[in-house]
A and B are shown apart, each in its own frame.
Chain A
Amino acid sequence: MADSEFQAIQDRKVRDEQMRNMINRKLVESGERERLKELLRERLIECGWRDQLKAHCKDVVRQKGLENITVDDLVAEITPKGRSLVPDQVKKELLQRIRSFLASQTNI
């Protein structure tokens, strides 16, 4: 890989990171992040995600025993399943909301 090419990729990475941080800041600053969190929570309850995951957590805790498991073990154990169970519809809706939020922010 040529040096210039490497440099370009590095630059891009930095720019992406700056962009990500800026978007995050906007979301926090406006309170939109809290609203999105609440929306996501509602949707995940409605589609049964919360119940399913809760049942799974209970199974894991029962299997290993409450004394022998940490929150982090539990998080590690359920994360793959939790991610895969989020309906595409919910992801789409959230993405749409973030998009229209960003579109409404003229100064980005």
Chain B
Amino acid sequence: MNSGGCDHLSAFKEEKGIEPFRIIFSYFISCCSRESRKRKALALQCHTCRQMSPRLHSCLHCVFFGCFGAKHIHQHAKSKNHELSMDLTYGAILCRVCSDYVYDREIEELFRTQQRKSALLLGMLNPFSPWEPSEMEVELLHQNPKRRKIDGNSTIGLRGLINLGNTCFMNCIVQALTHTPLLRDYFLSDQHKCQMTQESQQCLVCEMSRLFQEFYSGVRTPHTPYRLLHLVWTHARHLAGYEQQDAHEFLIAALDVIHQHCKASRNKEDADGNTAQVCDCIIDRIFTGGLQSDVTCQECNILYTFRLEMSPRLSTPSGISPWISAPRKTTLHLVSWSDPCATDSHTLISAVFSNGLDRFEEATSLTYCLRRFTRPEHLGSTAKIKCSKCHNYQESTKQLTMKKLPLVACFHLKRFEHSTGYHKKISTYVSFPEELDMTPFMSASRDNNNGYSHQVIQEAASGLTSENKYSLYAVVNHRGTADTGHYTCFIRQHKSHWFRCEDHLITKASLDYEVLKSEGYLLFYHKQILDYE
């Protein structure tokens, strides 16, 4: 194999320049107009056997297409003594004399430009291109010759965490976050550019970077996360102290502080002077999705559609945090938001969940909770909306659906009830799947006659629409009562190995017999398919 071109190719370029390559490429590989695609469709066949063969090559010396499989291009090259030809799928250049493909930087660069142009015209905004190290990265790779290969059985990334006195709530969240694939990729590829340059010791994102380094360094002894604890205490004062805290509250606080530190000094306004709608920090890119709320006035049937951000980072009442809730009973979340379309931007107050005790027997699965979350709900006389068509306060029907799925969906099963005077824990088993399809809960599945369109549910069942599928990768559990208890978690390593983490102890776990049978408190799912943005 020759990665540096060959004399034959150099001689050809010397004589004819780069133009012949551009012409063939733009007419027969990456077309930039419907006209040229049409021409290409008619021309793409072997001149010897008349087949539209998969590996067609074009001679670079004359007008001839020949297939590779039946060696018609080889025969032509030999009989005519034509040295070079080009593969019409990828644009690779074949040299007959060298009997192999040869490569040339200038030509490849030309092709890439052409390819981007053509992809853009077909509506593909960001077609895949493989990672190529920059000059600086090549330099770094040379300076640091040590490589670590991580195979499917490697335990790198597994590390226990010392309990610093009731800090198991933090340890669990740290385990879940360090095993979030997209966060791991972000931190291990060193993408955080610190915004708190004066005081980066205070930056929680920098601390997370160090934590990821610790986790993936290959060291097997437990890590002591005292710096992290200290930073959390500094930035989220309500969590300070050595009492047991709620793991969910810690997650919200941690994500929010990381979000703030990501954009500490950045201008929060866009060019028009508007506050940016959706934050583009790594936390929001991963955890934030969008909800759609459709409210129908009972009186005049007019439909109002609202968009809401959903993120575990946002806490009530400005968003829906715990956005999935209640395995049981009357958790009433008040959510308020303003209607961006209405001129008098009034505020709607409504109940997201208002389910009576009678329903709790059914609430034994995550999918049930999701179905309940997204089904149309009648808002009675206590939650009237001001309809801008009939200019009056009216009863209405509301349905929440998912407009934009987050890359990571974190479900919080509300097991704790805190009222004045008593704390209570609900230990009901709620089943959750390893693989979760969100298609039925999407806004696109919403049918105008209230409910979901039949077809979508069937499609989802047949497993063909995989775009909205999620995989479970971490589960946080709570053992004990509302007042005293202990947090542990299960995390997934690689594709299918599960481990149980209890502070400094890490043991192998079975997905079917332990993880899925556990009394889940926080469930972490990541999207199987990522849209390239």
Q: Which residues of A contact B (CB under 8 A)?
A: 20-21, 24-26, 28-31, 34-35, 38, 41-43, 45-46, 48, 61, 66-67, 69-72, 74, 89, 92-93, 96
Contact = CB atoms under 8 A, between A and B. Distances in A.
A42 B42 contact: no
A63 to B, nearest CB: 13
Contacts of A89: 463, 466
A108 to B, nearest CB: 14
Contact of A72 (B100, B463, B464): B100
A72 B95 CA distance: 12
A31 B122 contact: yes
Interface string B100-125: 11000000000000000011011110
A35 B128 contact: no
A101 to B, nearest CB: 14
B52 A29 contact: no
A34 B124 contact: yes
B41 A35 contact: no
Given A46-B529, A92-B464, A31 B1 contact: no
B119 to A, nearest CB: 7
A70 B1 contact: yes
Give the bracket for the number of chain B residues in contact with chain A. 20 to 34
A92 B464 CA distance: 7
B42 A34 contact: no
Contact of B119 (A34, A61, A67): A34
Interface in B476-511: 495
B259 to A, nearest CB: 27
Interface string B21-34: 00000000011001
B41 A25 contact: yes
Contact of A38 (B44, B127, B528): B127
B38 A34 contact: no
A26 to B, nearest CB: 8
A29 B38 contact: yes
B223 interface: no
Given A38-B127, A46-B528, A29 B101 contact: no
A69 B1 contact: yes
Interface string B506-533: 0000000000000000000000111010
Contacts of A92: 464
Contact of B40 (A28, A35, A61, A72): A28
B226 to A, nearest CB: 37
B228 to A, nearest CB: 32
Interface of B: 1, 30-31, 34, 37-38, 40-42, 44-45, 52, 92, 99-101, 118-119, 121-124, 127-128, 463-464, 466, 495, 528-530, 532
Given A66-B1, A70-B99, A89-B466, A38 B124 contact: yes
B41 A28 contact: yes
B530 A46 contact: yes
Nearest to A61: B1
B44 A71 contact: no
Contacts of A72: 100
Given A34-B118, A70-B100, A89-B466, A29 B41 contact: yes
B124 A20 contact: no
Given A42-B529, A89-B466, 5 more contacts: A24-B41, A28-B44, A29-B37, A70-B99, A71-B92
Given A28-B37, A29-B37, A34-B118, A42 B1 contact: no
Given A28-B41, A29-B37, A29-B38, A96 B464 contact: yes
A35 B532 contact: no
Given A21-B52, A42-B128, A31 B466 contact: no
B312 to A, nearest CB: 24
A25 B42 contact: yes
A28 B92 CA distance: 19
A38 B119 contact: yes
A26 B41 CA distance: 7
Contacts of A67: 1
26 contacts: A20-B52, A24-B44, A28-B41, A28-B44, A29-B37, A29-B38, A29-B41, A31-B31, A31-B122, A34-B118, A34-B119, A34-B124, A38-B128, A42-B128, A42-B529, A46-B529, A48-B495, A61-B1, A69-B1, A71-B1, A71-B101, A72-B100, A74-B1, A93-B464, A93-B466, A96-B464
| Nearest 10 pairs of A and B residues by beta carbon | A28-B41, A29-B41, A25-B41, A70-B100, A31-B122, A71-B101, A24-B52, A29-B37, A29-B38, A41-B128
Contact of B128 (A28, A29, A45, A93): A45
